[in-house]
Amino acid sequence: MATDYFAILGVDKNATPAEIKRAYRRLARDLHPDVNPSPEAQEKFKEVSKAYEVLTDPQKRRIVDLGGDPYDQGGGAAGGGFSGFGGFSDIMDAFFGAGAGGGARGPRRSRVRPGADALITLDLELAETAFGVTKDFAVETAVLCDGCQGAGTAPGTSVAECGTCGGMGEIQAVQRTLLGQMMVTRECHACRGTGTIIPTPCPKCGGDGRVRAGRTVTAKIPAGVENGMRIRLASQGEVGPGGGPAGDLYVEVHEIEHDIFTREGDDLHCRVTLPMTSAALGTELTLTNLDESDEELEIKAGTQAGDRITLRGKGVPRLRSTVRGNLVVHLEVQTPTKLDAEQTRLLTELARLRGEEGEASTKANPHGGLFSRMRDAFNGR
């Protein structure tokens, strides 16, 4: 049977949080170990504290209101885990089923169980992951059935005691083993260990207490998130069986590639292509950054292909910080592929003035032909 936490505190089942708090304080004053050191008072104080913790936790109280127990071993209470064999009875249970060792029967399973977590992938632009955004998106999960509010029963009906196990949630049978005939206890197949059945299930959910439905969820994406990161939205996942508390929804960020900028951690990178003449003579450019601010670039005379300009503090904000990374501009120099007669004449004259006229073999001049030598000249060779 589920623990009556309301009775432990001496409050009504419709008690408000304030009434529960007052009742707990009243009992705690009398039972606290500093006031009453007796073993009985200490045990009672533990029960009262546990009841207060359950009834002031919205998710746990919902389980209690629906007839379950958040600390029921079959109810999926948090913190449960495998603890190994505790003795001969546990070993017999492992081989021959629960109760084979003749020990006490375990508690019934609760119909109300916590829901599972859900995962969705959200596509975001680079600017959205860099500077944050509030995003609405559609998701389909199990939600509370509005026909029965999670009870699983049709309107005007209620659950009934299981006739197969008599409300125990388990049945006993004689089983022949290598050690002879033994009495084994197994989970009742009719009620699946809950001890109750639903004679008239809710027509909307079929007795499950939940239905699948689409809904819109709002997520606040913080600035600085990276591709593959997950954002947790508490209690936005799947509602549990019997209308149990919902799990969490995890939003996995998928960063869409940008046409101009790439990202490496907190730094942004982009490429700017310069005409050969601008690289040789120098110039000034205006670059529109990812945050749409204008950045002035000073291109120095004699700039080479592969040179970089670093603008500090113009990159992506660091996650949960106001510090920003850098914007790194990679410079590329474009060599003309088609020249008209006048352009050819001028470049030829430049080559003559620099003593670079004529073609030279690769063997004689490892720097190559005319335009390669011009490149070397711009580099100060």
CA atoms within 13 A on the CB side of 285: 17
pLDDT beyond 70 at 205? yes
Q: What is the pLDDT of residue 325?
A: 97
pLDDT tens for each residue of 6-50: 999 999 888 888 888 888 888 877 887 666 778 888 888 888 888
Q: What is the pLDDT of residue 251?
A: 96
Compute the average pLDDT of residues 95-120: 68
Name the pTM for this structure. 0.63
pLDDT tens for each residue of 300-313: 999 999 999 999 99
Q: What is the pLDDT of residue 355?
A: 83
Q: What is the pLDDT of residue 114?
A: 92
Which amino acid makes up residue 377? A
pLDDT tens for each residue of 234-246: 999 999 999 999 9
Q: Would you say the C-alpha torsion 339, 342, 345, 347 has a positive or negative sign? A: negative
Alpha-carbon distance of 191 to 196, in angstroms, equals 6
pLDDT beyond 60 at 101? no
180 pLDDT tier (thresholds 50, 70, 90): low
Q: What is the pLDDT of residue 43?
A: 85
Tell me the two tokens of residue 191: 């009620």
Q: Which residues neighbour 314 within 8 Å (Cβ) at sequence distance 6 or greater? A: 268, 289, 293, 295, 324, 326, 327
Provide the phi-psi class of 44: left if phi over 0, else alpha when psi is between -120 and 50, else beta: alpha
Domains of the chain listed by start with CATH number: 112-154+202-257 (2.60.260.20), 262-334 (2.60.260.20), 341-378 (no CATH)
Tell me the two tokens of residue 169: 């949630």
360 pLDDT tier (thresholds 50, 70, 90): very low
CA atoms within 13 A on the CB side of 235: 7
As annotated, the binding site for Zn(2+) includes 145, 148, 162, 165, 188, 191, 202, 205
Q: What is the pLDDT of residue 334?
A: 93
Q: What is the pLDDT of residue 164?
A: 92
215 or 106, higher pLDDT:
215
Which amino acid makes up residue 131? F
29 or 126, higher pLDDT:
126
pLDDT tens for each residue of 281-303: 999 999 999 999 999 999 999 99
Strands (E), the chain: 118-124, 133-144, 160-161, 170-177, 180-187, 196-197, 210-221, 230-233, 249-255, 262-264, 267-275, 283-288, 294-299, 308-311, 327-334
Work out the percent of the chain whose per-residue pLDDT is above 90.
53
pLDDT beyond 60 at 359? no
What's the mean pLDDT when you consider all of the chain?
Answer: 83
> What are the residues facing 161 on neighbouring strands?
196
